[in-house]
Chains A and B, each alone.
Chain A
Amino acid sequence: MVNIDIEEIRFVPAFYDEFPERLRNIPNPPKGLYIKGRFPDESRPSVAIVGSRDCSQYGAGMAKYYAEVLSKAGVQIISGLARGVDGIAQKTALDAGHPTFGVLGCGVDVVYPKSNREIFERITEKGALISEFPPGTPAIARQFPSRNRIIAGLADVLLVVEAKVKSGTGITVRNALEQGKDVYAIPGRVTDPLSAGCNKLIADGAGAALTPDDVLLALGIEPSGSRKNAAAQISKLARREKMLYSVLDLYPRTLDELSNMTGLTAAELLGILLQLELKGLAAETGKNNYIRKS
């Protein structure tokens, strides 16, 4: 048995005042929730950011970018603390010092996946770990679809970052639609299987989140110029740095591609890329594969 007092885990039945209002009116509401931390603020907007566990660099970059802008605007980030999109979005919010809430398909004292241990340890400072399963419940695949309805339930808007056509994210989307929530998706290249789910959602009538501002507007928040800083930094770059930065993309590019586009040699490219990396404008995602940052 888990001693829930020591673990600071509380059980909050649905008839308590503290129980989230958002969850009272969804179909098949939970009878109660185990929580470590505090529930999302009812007066502040919340967005669920979900997507593939094995996301591409593009998906990872987008999850980070949207989570950063949204949480800075005061939006609470809800997600499932899974590998990939979920974890990246929540870690971004955590790193920026904003509250984020992880809804689990296992007990709130069970760390799954292990690679997100750091997030599990820090998330309760400002947010919470939430689950309808009692402490000690192991992570079993069939429990995950039911927690997706709580993710959708706690959010005002559901944002899908990257998903294949058939995936767990689809269940969350269905739940959100049943609950009458807005669904937004980030479009991608039509040839990418990882973006196919998102593109199909948009074709089926979901909102296209072309910028984080689209999501903010859906929540009734007036966006503020969020990328000014980066723009100021870019204008200060040397000529060749600027040229190289302009050909970088969120899809990883190899040295060969960069050389073809800029005409620089490998030695020159590596030198400039290092400068960009140190300035936080580029990142090496795989060996000698580079992407643009911010």
Chain B
Amino acid sequence: MFSSINSVALFGMDARMVTAETDLSTGGLPVFEMVGFLGSEVKESKERIRTAMKNSGYLIPPKRITVNLSPADLRKSGSSFDLAVAISLLCAMGVIPEEASSATVAAGELSLSGEVKPVSGILPMVFEARKNGFKRFILPAANAAEGGAVEGIEVVGVHDLEETVAYLSGSKTIEPTSISLEAILNEERIPEADFRDVSGQIGARRGLEVAVAGMHNILMIGPPGSGKSMMAKCLPSILPPLSADECLEISKVYSVAGLLGAEGLVTERPFVSPHHTISPQALAGGGNIPRPGAVSLAHRGVLFLDEFPEFQRQTLEILRQPIEDHEVHIQRTQGSCTFPTDFLLCAAMNPCKCGYYPDRNRCSCSGPEIQRYLSKISGPLLDRIDISVETSEIGFSELSGKTGSAGESSEKIRERVVDAAEIQRKRFEGTGLRFNSDIGVRELKRFCAIGPEEEELMKTVFETMGLSARGYHRILKTSRTIADLAHSDTIKQEHIAEAIGYRGIDRRYWNGEY
């Protein structure tokens, strides 16, 4: 007696359809054999299945049972095949009618008691099933909210094996789960941190606003305790709201990483803040079966690296390619996989080891020490950071709210950011670019054209301030965003002047001479 049902194998973010075939035959010794290039956790699944079926009241007949997961040349790993194998075995045993498994996909882990437990990676699996024309996906009830976000396929959550059998035999009906993304995304959310609570820091506030508006990477420099981390935490509150597509993109990554909570989907832009001891693999993604790293978990959100120079150099250099390509490719013996990494990099650092430079009366570092501290960040990486701002220590009068600009709320800043994002969307329609920070050297002439007066200013600055060609481009891109924030079609002198104020740290300024 032969039967089969479909399931999905995952490698990184890539899903592939797999068929679980089961054959029961009377010839030969009674064994339970599983084949199909299986990882050890998949091989173990026959013990789980045997016990789970026994405890659910289905005795496996003493026959020769052969299970094959096809295609047999694709390495399979993870515990998500349990449910599919169990269903196909039950079909072969005649407990479930044969036709019940047609156009159906199943995934889920079995516990010895027969309970169906949640697995990671459901979202990409359901997408793959829909792409291949399947009509129904049976998955653990705990994953139903996640899978239900995919339209065009019936997603059925089951609690245990008995319920699954009852459902597939038609003796019980389970309402398919369907989640409305719009409803979830439109829910009112109170941000964890709001710019309203940040006092002073006019330079850094404005710098962060410009950075978010054009998705420019930003570096904050300032003494300890000046509020760098706090301001970084406010960033998600001024990022544009998530679209449905973005929500699914992020959720897919989190699904593969097994980090989706009970809510089922990621409904806010991620803010990922790894500690500076993070390994290169944890940052970029890695492992035998590649899992997304911090750069991918920050996709469409913020990657915040506090104490920037304290990260291992090797770790930091890994950032270069993901920043440039918006995706990271990970090669392993079993194949390569790609994770998306379109994030806003926000880095924070002290100006020197003790943190008080350029206040020489408090800074105890010598010139070479300061140089050494700064040189931990390589030139190529600095080249990818468009904006750098200083955070200053907060005086008592600012803390008590007597002076300084009363904090503008994140809501207001976000309105301006959303407007600027809309301007950029219209400008870049059909070009493949999304934000001003994506503008390449070739497109500069087209999108960042400047008038003769502005040209003159740039020339003077270029000559007197010793700018590099890259520095020049960065200033143009940043001034484009500043002009967008001001709803100006052309880049004006004032926009360029402000952008120059945000130019990256220049070695020249750090050697104590001027």
Contact = CB atoms under 8 A, between A and B. Distances in A.
Contact of A57 (B360, B366, B460): B360
Interface of A: 53-60, 83-84, 87-88, 91, 115, 191-195, 252, 254-257, 259-260, 265-267, 269-271, 273-275, 277-278, 283-289, 291, 293
Nearest to B388: A287
A278 B465 CA distance: 9
B351 A286 contact: yes
13 contacts: A56-B358, A56-B361, A57-B512, A58-B360, A83-B367, A266-B501, A270-B500, A271-B498, A278-B461, A286-B390, A287-B505, A288-B203, A288-B392
Contacts, number: 125
B403 interface: yes
A274 B512 contact: no
Contact of A60 (B206, B405, B461, B513): B513
Q: Which 7 A-B pairs have the closest CB atoms?
A: A270-B501, A56-B360, A288-B390, A255-B203, A254-B392, A286-B358, A271-B497
B67 to A, nearest CB: 63
Nearest to B514: A283
The SS class assigned to the B binding surface is mixed
Nearest to B352: A286
Interface of B: 200-203, 205-207, 221, 351, 357-361, 363, 365-368, 388-390, 392, 398, 403-405, 460-461, 464-465, 482, 493-494, 497-498, 500-502, 505, 509-514
Contacts of A283: 514
A267 B496 CA distance: 10
B393 to A, nearest CB: 8
Given A267-B482, A286-B509, A288-B390, A256 B200 contact: yes
Given A260-B403, A287-B351, 17 more contacts: A54-B363, A57-B360, A58-B360, A115-B367, A254-B392, A256-B392, A256-B404, A265-B202, A266-B202, A266-B203, A267-B494, A274-B461, A277-B464, A277-B465, A286-B351, A286-B357, A289-B390
A251 B207 CA distance: 24
Given A53-B367, A60-B513, A259-B202, A274 B360 contact: no
A201 to B, nearest CB: 18
A267 B361 contact: no
B366 A53 contact: yes
Contacts of B464: 277-278
Contacts of A265: 202, 206
B361 A256 contact: no
A257 B393 CA distance: 10
B205 to A, nearest CB: 7
Given A267-B482, A288-B390, A256 B398 contact: yes
